[in-house]
Amino acid sequence: IQYKFPDGFWWGSATSATQMEGAASEGGKGLNIWDHWYATEPNRFFDGVGPETTSDFYNKYKKDIQLMKQIGHNSFRLSISWSRLIPGGEGEVNPEAVTFYNNVIDELIENDIEPFVNLFHFDMPLELQDIGGWESRRVIDAYEQYAQKSFELFGDRVKKWFTFNEPIVPVEGGYLYDFHYPNVVDAKRAFQVAYNTMIAHAKAVQVYHSLNVEDGQIGIILNLTPSYPRSSNPADLKASNICDLFFNRSFLDPAVKGEYPTELVQLLEEHGQLPETEVGDKELLKNNIIDFLGVNYYQPRRVKSKETLPNPYSPFMPDWFFDNYEMPGRKMNPYRGWEIYEKGIYDIMINLRDNYGNVESFISENGMGVQDEARFIKDGRIEDDYRIDFIKGHLEWLHKAINEGCNAKGYHLWTFLDNWSWMNAYKNRYGFYSVNLETKERTAKKSATWFTDVSTNNGF
Ligand code: BGP
C-alpha cells in the first residue's frame, strides 16, 4: 500500500435531506423553500424536475445503509430537514420525523457507521423565509431552538454535529447571483445574511458546548476555494486576496478564530456595506469557536485584476474587485464546468495548518458529477474510471498533507447514491451507486468496489 492513512480515518460519503430523502410531502413534513420554489417556478429546474421524490432514502434507508456497509463506510453524513423535524420551523416537533431520524441513526450505528449530522443544508422552512429568512433575528432564535431540540433528541448517539453546510451558497445563490430562492440581488442584504448565519452558527455551538457532551464535537462545513492569482503582480495578488476574504475567510475566520478579518471589515466599511450587529455578537463569536471543520472541495478559484474599473454608480458587488481567470490548459469537468485541480486540497490543508492553528478537519465533500453515465455501462455496471482517478488524485494530495503534519481525519465523497441536485436535478451523477429513476433500483459503480478496498485497507 503506497498511500496509507492514519488509523481510524473516516471513510464514507455525504448527502443532504432535500437531495436524498424524497417524501417531501409525506410524514408530516412542512414546506421548505425548495418545495415552494419548485411548485411555483418548475422551469427554473433542470428538466423541470424537483426534489419531491429523489432517491427515496426516506423509505429505503434500511437497504441503503446495508449498501453503505457493503462498500466499507465507517461514517456517513446526512442532514436533518428542519421543516420535517419542526414543520413551520418553530414550535412542536413532528413525531414521525423523530421516529425516522431515530431509525436512521440507530440503523447506522448498528452497522458500525458513525452518523455525522448537519443541521442546515440550504433548506429554510418556507414560513421562516417568509418572515425574512436569515435576515431576521427571529429566524436565528428559531434555528437555535431547532439546534437545541436536535441535540436533545439525537445527541445521545450522534457525536459529530455540524451547524451549516456551505453557508456561503445561500448567500451567493439567494442574495447575489440569483440561482437560489429568494432570488434577491443585493450585496448589502447578502452580507447581512452571511453575518446572521454566523451568529446562528455560534449560538448553536454555544448550546452544544453547554451540554458538555463527552466525545461530542461540533463544527461547520465550508466549501473552501483556494484563490490563485493569475500572476504575482500586485494587482492580481490584491484581486485574489479580496476574493479569499469574501469567499473563504468571511466564514473560516469567525468559525475557527472567532473574529472577522480586519481587512474585510475595513473594506465593507469603506463601501458602506457593513451588516447590522447587536451588542454581544462579538463575544458570542469569540467564545464559540468550532471543534472541527468539514472542508468541501471541488474546485479552486483563479483570479485576475479587473480589466475595467467598475461603474461607481452600479450597485456594490464583490465582483468589483476581481475578474475570474480562465487559466490556459486547466483541467475541467465539462459537465459541471468546474476546474479539477487536485493540489487545491493540499493547499487548503497547509493553510489550515499554518494559519488556523491546525484545526482538526476532514474532507466532508469532494466528487465528480458526470452526465449520461449510462454510456459507460459494461456488463451491467458503470465503469467510472474517471471518478476513481478523480478520487485517487485528491487522496494522494491529502495524504501528502497529512504526512506534512496536517490534521485531516477523513474523506467523504459526494455522494453515496445518485441524487437530486439543487438546480441540475439529475443531470450530473455523483454517486457510488447509480439509481434508476423509474424503479429506484441501486447498482454499484466500479468506483464503489474500488473504494471498498481503499476503506478496508485504509489506503491504496
Ligand atoms: C455542494 C453541495 C451539495 C452538492 C454538491 C455538488 O456544493 O453541498 O449539496 O449538491 O455541491 O454540486 P451540484 O449538485 O451543484 O453539482
Question: Is the beta carbon of 172 within 6 A of some atom in ligand 1?
Answer: no
Task: Give the long-range contacts of residues 92-96, CB within 8 A, separation 24 or more.
Answer: 93/149, 93/153, 94/27, 94/28, 94/29, 94/30, 95/28, 96/27, 96/28
- Residues 6+ away with beta carbon under 8 Å from 444: 67, 70, 71, 381, 432, 433
Question: Is the beta carbon of 366 within 6 A of some atom in ligand 1?
Answer: no
Atom of ligand 1 nearest to the CA of 19: 9
CA 252, 256, 257, 260 dihedral sign is positive
3-state secondary structure of 185: coil
4 assigned to some structural domain = no
The residues pairing with 421 across neighbouring beta strands, listed in sequence order, are 425
Q: Any idea what the Cα angle at residue 291 is, between residues 459 and 121, rounded to 5°? A: 80
Is 326 one of the annotated active-site residues of the chain? Answer: no
- Distance of CA 179 from the midpoint of ligand 1 (Å): 13
Angle between the 95-110 and 57-70 helix axes, to the nearest 10 degrees? 10
- Distance of CA 214 from the midpoint of ligand 1 (Å): 32
| 394-434 per-position pLDDT tens digit | 999 999 999 999 999 999 999 999 999 999 999 999 999 99
- CA 155 to CA 216: how far, in whole Å? 8
3 assigned to some structural domain = no
8 A C-beta contact, residue 225 and residue 301 = yes
Task: Please tell me the total count of domains within the chain.
Answer: 1
Q: What is the pLDDT of residue 309?
A: 85
Question: Is the beta carbon of 414 within 6 A of some atom in ligand 1?
Answer: yes
Q: Give this prediction's pTM.
A: 0.98
8 A C-beta contact, residue 161 and residue 151 = yes
Residues of the chain with pLDDT under 70: none
179 assigned to some structural domain = yes
Write out the three cell numbers for 278: 447587536
Residue 426 sits in a domain of what CATH number? 3.20.20.80
3-state secondary structure of 34: helix
Q: What is the pLDDT of residue 310?
A: 84
- Distance of CA 107 from the midpoint of ligand 1 (Å): 26
Host domain of residue 372: 10-457
Q: Which of 90, 365, 373, 441 is catalytic?
A: 365
- Residues 6+ away with beta carbon under 8 Å from 419: 15, 19, 20, 54, 55, 430, 431, 435
Q: What is the pLDDT of residue 404?
A: 98
5 assigned to some structural domain = no
- CA 413 to CA 391: how far, in whole Å? 8
For a mutational test of ligand 1's pocket, the pick from 164, 225, 365, 419, i.e. the residue with the most ligand atoms closer than 8 A to its C-beta, is 365
8 A C-beta contact, residue 227 and residue 244 = yes
- CA 224 to CA 168: how far, in whole Å? 10
Report which protein residue has its CA nearest ligand 1's atom 4: 421
Atom of ligand 1 nearest to the CA of 423: 15
- Residues 6+ away with beta carbon under 8 Å from 443: 380, 381, 382, 433, 434, 436
- CA 91 to CA 118: how far, in whole Å? 20
Question: Is the beta carbon of 371 within 6 A of some atom in ligand 1?
Answer: no
400 assigned to some structural domain = yes
Question: Is the beta carbon of 422 within 6 A of some atom in ligand 1?
Answer: yes
**Residue 422 to residues 21, 43, 157, 301, 344, Cα–Cα distance (Å):** 14, 13, 30, 21, 24
1 assigned to some structural domain = no
Question: Is the beta carbon of 424 within 6 A of some atom in ligand 1?
Answer: yes
Using CA atoms in the order 259, 116, 439, 373, what is the torsion angle rounded to 10 degrees? 60
Question: Is the beta carbon of 369 within 6 A of some atom in ligand 1?
Answer: yes
Q: What is the pLDDT of residue 312?
A: 82
8 A C-beta contact, residue 89 and residue 136 = no
Atom of ligand 1 nearest to the CA of 165: 8
